[in-house]
Amino acid sequence: MTDLDAANAGSFSIGGQTPVNRLGYGAMRVTGPGIWGPPADKAGALRTLERLPELGVDFIDTADSYGPDVSEELLAEALHPYRSHSGGLFIATKAGLTRPGPDRWIPSGKPDYLIAQAKKSLRKLRVEQIDLWQLHRIDPRVPAGEQFGAVKALLDEGLIKYAGLSEVSVAEIKAAAKVFPVATVQNRYNLADREHEDVLDYCAAQGIGFIPWYPLAAGDLAKPGSPLAAIAEARGATPSQIALAWILKRSPVMLPIPGTSQVAHLEENVAAADIDLSDAEFAAIDRASKSFTA
């Protein structure tokens, strides 16, 4: 056992009611190549998942399309009935993308499909209510209002406790919020890709959790001589740990979910919860990031 604890990153209350440790875990990588089929090392993937509650990681994000179904099934096999050393685990899943093959993702937002997939996730995860269910994509071929209506139906039936969106604009969040309470937004965000700064700021103002997927990407910022690399070297940390610490400091609504299928990498990620960047370090990385992404 180690002293690693994701709780050191602080907490955020989903929907203003349910606290989770801000440093979470994304369960996409416990599948096969192309996010398709079972993992090459199932035993190793299960060991990684089993390590999560021991490290204080109580917020876990998956999706019906990861595998498909594989990620949800492995989570249930490894962690059901979802207990941590401090209480319960909070499991988030998603639907709205179909998988015709490896690395292929096609939106499907028909209400009947979304509701059926949510019910299937209930069975795969072995739960009576999904903690957080997210519309994985807004399907441009289906009226958005119909998709939001399906989400509301899931909430009204008690099949899901909270609802979120993924890869959306501020305008889309506002439109959805007229139909159901938006608890979280999951958009791609990292030091090398800050396209959704306006969405993050809106979420912060509204108390909506912001789940940045692909949070460890740093691109050229991780090269020797960059501020990120220099701070990492000075602190005896890796550039990815500093990038994760920066994301955590960026906003109190930030809920990063770095994913891996390896215990050692998981522990390395959780160690970032102990890195408290100074304001000067944060500003230096921020300036460098904006210059690279401008």
* Residues with active-site annotation: 66
- Which residues lie below 8 Å from residue 221, measured CB to CB, with a gap of 6+? 191, 192, 227, 228, 229, 239, 243, 285, 288, 289, 292
Question: Contact, 148 vs 179, CB < 8 A?
Answer: yes
Residue 84, SS3 per DSSP: strand
Question: Contact, 267 vs 55, CB < 8 A?
Answer: yes
What pairing do the DSSP bridges indicate for beta strands 130-135 and 160-166? Answer: parallel
**What's phi and psi for 181, nearest 5 deg?**
-70, 125
- Cα separation, 246 vs 256, in Å, equals 11
Which phi-psi region, left, alpha or beta, contains residue 151 (left: φ > 0; alpha: ψ -120 to 50)? alpha
Name residue 191's amino acid: L
- Cα separation, 275 vs 254, in Å, equals 16
Question: Contact, 242 vs 232, CB < 8 A?
Answer: yes
Question: Contact, 134 vs 92, CB < 8 A?
Answer: yes
**CA-CA-CA-CA torsion for 233, 229, 244, 216, nearest 10 degrees?**
-130
